[in-house]
């Protein structure tokens, strides 16, 4: 094989190598461009999705604002109209009681006064629940303390209140605090009627986004023949509706544990 043929073969190899290198570079370029296009497409899609989510969030915020405004309007109307009506009813009943001479009539008027006072308390609870300014853990705890104190002050049950790491500014929904408060009312009522206790401890505990309310007494415990009585079913149902938990133990009294995620 002469030198001329060798040079031709070398040249052919060189050309083939260059063509292959060019082809490889072209393939790499195409892949990079494709990846770049895909990245741009994904980013554009994410941006559109983000804009869509922002629009949904904005609509939800506007909806919540309208709901809060409506709650405030109903709260003010109830306070101005219903509250004034109940106060007028109580005042008229007091006048009638002073003028009445018949003992039976006085008893009827006394029942009327008692009913109007109960209506007044129920209205205050509804106003508290409707007011969006009370959608904080601090408001719930303060209101619960006042209610528990007023409920037990005329009984022989000594009330102890504990507050562990609860951050007052933590947001709690109106539905959550309403159901927790109704559970508290039920638990206090049960303790007063059935426990024969002389001491009750009410504890509020916050652990990051978890909130617990514990109600413990030193009474006789729960009737084991009817463990789901005394409102326990209602309390468990309320907690279940809030994706929370209601647990009860009966060692050395009755101990109720309510837990929700804030």
Shared domain check, 143 and 117: no
Share of the chain above pLDDT 70, in %: 85
Residues 3-17 have pLDDT tens digits of 666 777 777 778 888
Token pair for residue 28?
């790499």
Q: Are residues 118 and 144 in the same domain?
A: no
Q: What is the pTM of this model?
A: 0.64
Statement: residue 252 has pLDDT above 80: yes
In DSSP terms, 158 is beta-bridged to 199
Q: Is the same domain home to 70 and 188?
A: no
- 9/119 same-domain check: yes
Q: How far apart are CA 252 and CA 153, in angstroms?
A: 23
Computed over every residue of the chain, the mean pLDDT equals: 83
Checking if the pLDDT of 214 tops 90, the result is yes
Q: Looking at the structure, do residues 182 and 112 belong to the same domain, yes or no? A: no
Asked whether residue 193 falls in the same domain as residue 82, the answer is no
Strands 210-217 and 255-261: antiparallel
Q: Is residue 227's pLDDT more than 60?
A: no
User: Is residue 73 a contact partner of residue 57, using CB atoms and an 8 Å limit?
Assistant: no
What's residue 78's pLDDT?
Answer: 61
CATH number at residue 249: 3.30.565.10
Q: What is the pLDDT of residue 140?
A: 94
One domain, residues 107 and 209:
no
Q: Are 187 and 230 in contact (CB under 8 A)?
A: no
- Which span out of 40-44, 51-55, 245-249 was modeled with the highest average pLDDT? 245-249
Whether 126 and 5 map to the same domain: the answer is yes
Closest CA to 187 of 257, 241, 260, 126: 257
Q: Is the pLDDT of residue 232 over 60?
A: yes
Q: Are residues 104 and 5 in the same domain?
A: yes
> DSSP 3-state assignment of 153?
coil
Q: Which pairing describes strands 199-207 and 158-164: parallel, antiparallel, or unpaired?
A: parallel
> Between these two residues, 252 and 226, which has the higher pLDDT value?
252
Instruction: Select the more confidently predicted residue: 93 or 207.
Output: 207
Cα→Cα distances 87→79, 114, 127, Å: 11, 13, 16
User: Of 116, 133, 150, which closes a domain?
Assistant: 133
Of 118, 218, 206, nearest to 159 (Cα)?
218
Mean pLDDT of all residues in 238-260: 92
Check residue 136 and report its DSSP letter: B
- 228, 260: one domain: yes
Q: Are 259 and 204 in contact (CB under 8 A)?
A: no
Q: What per-residue confidence (pLDDT) applies to 12?
A: 77
Task: Choose the final residue of a domain: 108, 133, 158.
Answer: 133
Separation of alpha carbons 107 and 117, rounded Å:
15
For 167, the token pair is 């951050």
Out of 100, 116, 133, a domain closes at 133
More confident residue, 236 or 133: 236
Q: Which two tokens stand for residue 32?
A: 């990079």
Range of the domain at 149: 135-262
Q: How confident is the model at residue 156 (pLDDT cuts 50, 70, 90)?
A: very high
Q: Are 110 and 149 found together in one domain?
A: no
pLDDT band of residue 212 (cuts 50, 70, 90) is: very high
pLDDT tens figures, 163-205: 998 999 999 998 999 999 999 999 999 999 888 999 999 999 9
- What total number of domains does the chain contain? 2
Q: Are residues 122 and 162 in the same domain?
A: no
pLDDT at 257 over 70: yes
Residue that wins the pLDDT comparison between 88 and 239: 239
């Amino acid at each position: 094989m002469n030198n001329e043929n060798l040079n031709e073969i070398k040249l052919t190899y060189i050309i083939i190598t260059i063509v292959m290198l060019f082809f490889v570079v072209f393939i790499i370029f195409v892949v990079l461009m494709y990846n770049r296009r895909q990245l741009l497409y994904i980013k554009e899609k994410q941006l559109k999705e983000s804009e869509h989510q922002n629009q949904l969030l904005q609509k939800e915020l506007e909806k919540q604002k309208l709901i809060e405004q409506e709650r405030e309007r109903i709260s003010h109307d109830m306070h101005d109209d219903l509250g004034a009506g109940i106060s007028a009813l109580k005042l008229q009943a007091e006048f009638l009681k002073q003028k009445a001479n018949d003992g039976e009539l006085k008893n009827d008027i006394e029942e009327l006064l008692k009913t109007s006072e109960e209506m007044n308390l129920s209205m205050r609870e509804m106003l508290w629940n409707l007011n969006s300014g009370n959608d904080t853990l601090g408001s719930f705890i303060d209101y619960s303390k006042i209610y528990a104190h007023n409920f037990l002050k005329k009984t022989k049950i000594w009330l102890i209140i504990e507050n562990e790491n609860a951050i007052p500014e933590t947001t709690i929904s109106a539905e959550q605090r309403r159901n927790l408060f109704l559970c508290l009312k039920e638990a206090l009522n049960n303790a007063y009627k059935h426990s024969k206790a002389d001491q009750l401890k009410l504890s509020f505990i916050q652990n990051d986004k978890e909130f617990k309310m514990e109600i413990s007494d030193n009474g006789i415990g729960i009737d084991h023949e009817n463990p789901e009585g005394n409102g326990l079913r209602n309390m468990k149902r309320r907690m279940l509706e809030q994706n929370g938990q209601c647990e009860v133990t009966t060692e050395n009294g009755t101990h109720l544990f309510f837990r929700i995620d804030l």
